């Protein structure tokens, strides 16, 4: 099957089993577990998987090669079975020297659900021999020998473990490598370097696509092994004419398919996000009530990352007799989960991606075309159990002439600020010549360095400041980490000139002798290697209000932790289309004139007072699972702050200035000023933006003069989301490296 002399094709199972559900359990909370499965059931399931006949050959290949690239189609069983093969072969060490087998996943949903399934098959409770670690949720123990984790979490372990170099791991499996997330690409380089230092470390790179040679070449001509999957033929159909309303086209396609195709046969519809999924679900549920009495029923299921676990579970259950299941999903259903019973795929050919603009410093969520490789992956979902059909909601010419061959690595289009901070924490000095598989754009690297410098995380020499090292300890975006640290300071420590936490929060504790008040002559040494421009040239001048420093700022770590916890959790609010006014009325008491961040704090405070009561959440149209997740994040952040020496001080119930000022210390580069036409202009990139309709400030009159925001979203306009009112006069003091005072 391979043209490389270093590659080998392994046999596939000939068994006729049709339920290779290796990743099908829904995500759960920490410690949530399912009872172990009967051994006979496990053995039968495992022998039915395409990877089973390749077991011995795979273990031989791992033994003979320190690095292996394993290519196996989705549904082959590689993710759940390989770790078990390695465990059974002794790669988990001995009683005297236990070791762990790590398997990384790009998505937390997959890491959790796969760990649950493997724990069932191994015959243990989750968190014992088999566990998982994702951001703000660690369900593992010292007894864990197989650990599934997000790639970002393994990267964080490497950052905090430079002395011992992840020595607890005997094998590191980098799964779903074809997705090429930013964390995965950075992890490639970290693990490659680590393997040079540790001759005993085994690395296995797993991909669901056949373009494995780039991985093999990057890992020093690693051996490539192929495991055949179980794939039935799929007929592909295209539109004769392009459409712009792909949501309506998907809805119509489902109804047409349901009318024309006999049962059994479920359908999988790819959409770009939760809003579209819920819209199509409403349309289909409405249409199903008007189907003829003789027609088969429709069961609409949805799956996306933030969906509550009990609803995720529904996509894996077989539909009742006489019913067709319609699964509406994001690209999580491309490779991360296998849904049984799918015979039809409807693919609009689009995906939502976060695109970073280094020139403006903005992150935009944009809907972009999929690649040919993604389109083939999607079509293949229709052929897991039986011959299937794929309906592409675009023309064949679009597929042939417009779509890129492979998915662009995330490192080519995303904000590099977090990655740069992580790499600096790992001791990387020369970012321009760092061993990336694909180098990030030069402008993106410069922008990331500038951003971290402006926050005070980097000194003039390009190395981490004390503030930067402290920021790197938090599993947060640099801006949120800076805001949280800034919340630990008050006016008192700022006024006495001490080189304390206040100066640290403003970046004064730099690795060079420069202070935050000085205008930097050039970027640090690493920046000079990349570009010779100076940060000083880009510093806008803003008016300095003489009374800003005189205002009494109180430490507000407690409040900031609550706000960061809410920002770290998706889909706090749910607003049914038929109860929009009722939902707005129920949440009206939480609305704060200062903006969305204080509103989130008010919601969280009321939730904690209600002790997480489910009925209270329902009556206020809040997602209880998301609120519980925020509470879990809060607990971990409070513990981390205590460990780092940040007192959990509160500024008091009525002090909103201190909270907003601390936020500004992190988000000064994301501020905007009102224009005569009631639009806003960003202070650093001079873009025209607008307050998002979901913001509590959207209809505030008169509109606030100056605001900060978390992110920009581009639809018909460029909108600011998560918006809070600030005073423009605070900018020069809150961000002295970014703004100069007049």
* Residue 492 reports pLDDT greater than 50: no
Query: Predicted confidence band at 742 (pLDDT cuts at 50, 70, 90)?
Result: low
450 and 394: one domain?
no
Query: Predicted confidence band at 513 (pLDDT cuts at 50, 70, 90)?
Result: very low
278 and 293: one domain?
yes
pLDDT of residue 667: 96
Long-range contacts of 418-421 (CB under 8 A, 24+ apart): 418/182, 418/477, 418/478, 419/182, 419/183, 419/186, 419/448, 420/445, 420/448, 420/449, 420/452, 421/452, 421/457, 421/468, 421/471, 421/472, 421/478
* Residue 230 reports pLDDT greater than 60: yes
For residue 709, give the nearest of 730, 683, 676 by alpha carbon. 683
Q: Give CA–CA dist 592/605, Å, rounded.
A: 13
Residue 562 lies in a domain: no
161 and 180: one domain?
yes
pLDDT of residue 154: 94
Domain span including residue 493: 415-538
22 and 130: one domain?
yes
The Cα-based distances of 142 to 111, 112, 128 in angstroms read 18, 18, 8
User: Residues, the chain, total?
Assistant: 742
Whether the link from the prior residue into 692 is cis, omega within 30° of 0, is no
Bridge partners, 712 (sequence order): 364, 720
Eight-class DSSP state of 37: P
Residue 551 lies in a domain: yes
Residue 13 lies in a domain: yes
Beta-carbon neighbour count of residue 237 at 10 Å? 11
488 and 521: one domain?
yes
Higher pLDDT, 64 or 7: 64
pLDDT of residue 4: 38
Q: Give CA–CA dist 10/49, Å, rounded.
A: 13
User: In this structure, what token pair is assigned to residue 185?
Assistant: 């690409």
Of 227, 258, 280, the one marking the end of a domain is: 227
pLDDT one-digit tens code per residue, 419-439: 999 999 988 988 988 999 999
**Element containing residue 698 per DSSP (H, E):** none
For residue 523, give the nearest of 416, 443, 449, 445 by alpha carbon. 449
> What CATH number does the domain containing 332 carry?
3.40.50.300
185 and 305: one domain?
no
Query: Predicted confidence band at 541 (pLDDT cuts at 50, 70, 90)?
Result: low
> How many domains does the chain fold into?
4
Residue pair 12/77 in contact (Cβ under 8 Å)? The answer is no
222 and 143: one domain?
yes
Of 169, 195, 227, the one marking the end of a domain is: 227
The residues, ordered by sequence, that sit 6+ positions from 161 with a Cβ below 8 Å of its Cβ are none
pLDDT one-digit tens code per residue, 274-294: 889 989 999 999 999 988 888
Strand 130-134 relative to strand 266-270, pairing? unpaired
Q: At which residue do the structure tokens 């990352």 appear?
A: 305
441 and 331: one domain?
no
222 and 306: one domain?
no
For residue 99, give the nearest of 145, 157, 131, 132 by alpha carbon. 145
Radius of gyration of the CA atoms of the chain, in A: 26
Q: Give CA–CA dist 667/726, Å, rounded.
A: 11
Mean pLDDT of 107-118: 89
Report the chain's terminal Cα–Cα distance, integer Å.
68
656 and 678: one domain?
yes
Q: Cα 26–336–421 angle (5° rounding)? A: 100
Q: Give CA–CA dist 471/479, Å, rounded.
A: 9
The residues, ordered by sequence, that sit 6+ positions from 382 with a Cβ below 8 Å of its Cβ are 234, 268, 342, 343, 344, 345, 388, 389, 390
For 546, how many CA atoms within 13 A lie in the half-sphere containing its CB? 0
pLDDT one-digit tens code per residue, 371-416: 998 999 899 999 888 999 999 999 999 999 999 998 889 999 999 9
356 and 459: one domain?
no
pLDDT of residue 73: 79
Q: At which residue do the structure tokens 């093969």 appear?
A: 85
Q: Give CA–CA dist 184/176, Å, rounded.
A: 9
528 and 545: one domain?
no
Residue 154 lies in a domain: yes
Residue pair 451/669 in contact (Cβ under 8 Å)? The answer is yes
* Residue 634 reports pLDDT greater than 90: yes
Q: At which residue do the structure tokens 């100069």 appear?
A: 740
**Element containing residue 253 per DSSP (H, E):** helix 246-260
Residue pair 109/123 in contact (Cβ under 8 Å)? The answer is no
Residue 569 lies in a domain: no
Query: Predicted confidence band at 161 (pLDDT cuts at 50, 70, 90)?
Result: low
Q: Give CA–CA dist 554/637, Å, rounded.
A: 20
Q: What is the percent of the chain where pLDDT is above 70?
A: 85
Mean pLDDT of 689-704: 94
* Residue 203 reports pLDDT greater than 80: yes
Q: Where are the alpha helices (DSSP H) in 339-416?
A: 372-380, 396-401
Of 411, 444, 462, the one marking the end of a domain is: 411
């Amino acid at each position: 099957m391979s043209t490389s002399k270093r590659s080998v094709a392994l046999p596939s199972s000939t068994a006729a089993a049709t339920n290779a559900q290796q990743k099908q359990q829904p995500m759960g909370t920490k410690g949530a577990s399912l009872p172990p499965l009967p051994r006979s059931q496990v053995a039968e399931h495992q022998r039915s998987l395409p990877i089973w006949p390749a077991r011995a050959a795979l273990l031989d290949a791992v033994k003979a090669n320190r690095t292996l690239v394993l290519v196996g189609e989705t549904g082959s069983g590689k993710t759940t079975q390989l770790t078990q093969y390695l465990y059974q072969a002794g790669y988990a060490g001995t009683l005297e020297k236990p070791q762990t087998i790590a398997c990384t996943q790009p998505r937390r949903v997959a890491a959790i659900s796969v760990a649950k399934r493997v724990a069932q098959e191994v015959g243990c409770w989750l968190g014992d021999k088999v566990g998982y670690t994702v951001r703000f949720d660690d369900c593992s123990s010292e007894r864990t020998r197989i650990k599934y984790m997000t790639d970002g979490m393994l990267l964080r372990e490497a950052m905090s473990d430079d002395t011992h170099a992840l020595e607890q791991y005997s094998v590191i499996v980098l799964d779903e490598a074809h997705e090429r997330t930013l964390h995965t690409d950075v992890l490639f380089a970290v693990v490659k370097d680590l393997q040079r230092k540790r001759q005993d470390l085994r690395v296995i790179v797993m991909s669901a696509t056949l373009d494995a040679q780039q991985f093999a070449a990057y890992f020093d001509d690693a051996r490539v092994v192929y495991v055949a999957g179980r794939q039935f033929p799929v007929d592909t159909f295209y539109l004769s004419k392009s459409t712009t309303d792909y949501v309506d086209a998907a809805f119509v396609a489902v109804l047409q398919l349901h009318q024309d195709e006999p049962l059994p046969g479920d359908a999988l519809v790819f959409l770009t996000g939760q809003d579209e999924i819920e819209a199509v679900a409403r349309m289909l549920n409405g249409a199903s009530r008007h189907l003829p009495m003789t027609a088969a029923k429709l069961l609409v299921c949805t799956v996306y990352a933030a969906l509550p676990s009990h609803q995720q579970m529904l996509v894996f259950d077989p539909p009742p007799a006489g019913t067709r299941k319609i699964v509406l999903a994001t690209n999580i259903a491309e490779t991360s989960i296998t849904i049984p019973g799918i015979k039809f795929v409807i693919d609009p050919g689009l995906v939502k991606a976060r695109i970073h603009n280094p020139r403006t410093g903005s992150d935009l969520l944009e809907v972009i075309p999929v690649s040919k490789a993604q389109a083939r992956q999607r079509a293949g979902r229709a052929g897991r159990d039986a011959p299937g059909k794929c309906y592409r909601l675009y023309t064949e010419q679009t597929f042939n002439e417009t779509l890129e061959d492979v998915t662009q690595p995330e490192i080519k289009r995303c904000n590099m600020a977090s990655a740069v901070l992580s790499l600096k924490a790992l001791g990387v000095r020369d970012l321009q010549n760092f061993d990336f598989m694909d180098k990030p754009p030069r402008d993106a690297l410069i922008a990331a360095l500038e951003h971290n410098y402006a926050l005070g995380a980097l000194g003039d020499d390009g190395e981490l400041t004390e503030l930067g090292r402290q920021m790197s300890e938090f599993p947060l975006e640099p801006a949120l980490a800076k805001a949280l640290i800034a919340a630990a300071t008050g006016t008192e420590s700022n006024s006495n000139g001490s080189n304390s936490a206040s100066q640290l929060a403003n970046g004064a504790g730099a690795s060079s002798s420069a202070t935050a008040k000085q205008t930097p002559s050039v970027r640090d040494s690493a920046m000079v290697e990349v570009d010779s421009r100076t940060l000083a040239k880009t510093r806008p001048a803003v008016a300095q209000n003489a009374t800003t420093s005189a205002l009494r700022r109180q430490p507000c770590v407690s409040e900031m932790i609550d706000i960061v916890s809410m920002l770290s959790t998706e889909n706090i609010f749910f607003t049914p289309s038929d109860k929009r006014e009722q939902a707005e009325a129920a949440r009206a008491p939480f609305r704060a004139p200062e903006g969305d961040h204080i509103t989130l704090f008010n919601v969280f405070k009321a939730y904690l007072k209600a002790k997480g009561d489910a009925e209270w959440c329902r009556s206020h149209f809040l997602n209880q699972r998301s609120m519980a997740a925020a509470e879990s994040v809060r607990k971990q952040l409070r513990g981390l702050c205590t460990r780092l020496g940040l007192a959990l001080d509160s500024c008091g119930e009525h002090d909103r200035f201190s909270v907003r000022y601390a936020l500004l210390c992190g988000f000064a580069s994301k501020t905007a000023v009102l224009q005569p036409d009631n639009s806003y202009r960003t202070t650093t990139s001079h873009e025209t933006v607008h307050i998002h309709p979901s913001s509590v400030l959207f209809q505030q009159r008169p509109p606030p003069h100056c605001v900060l925001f978390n992110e920009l979203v581009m639809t018909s306009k460029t909108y600011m989301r998560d918006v809070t009112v600030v005073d423009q006069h605070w900018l020069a003091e809150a961000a002295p490296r970014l703004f100069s005072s007049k």
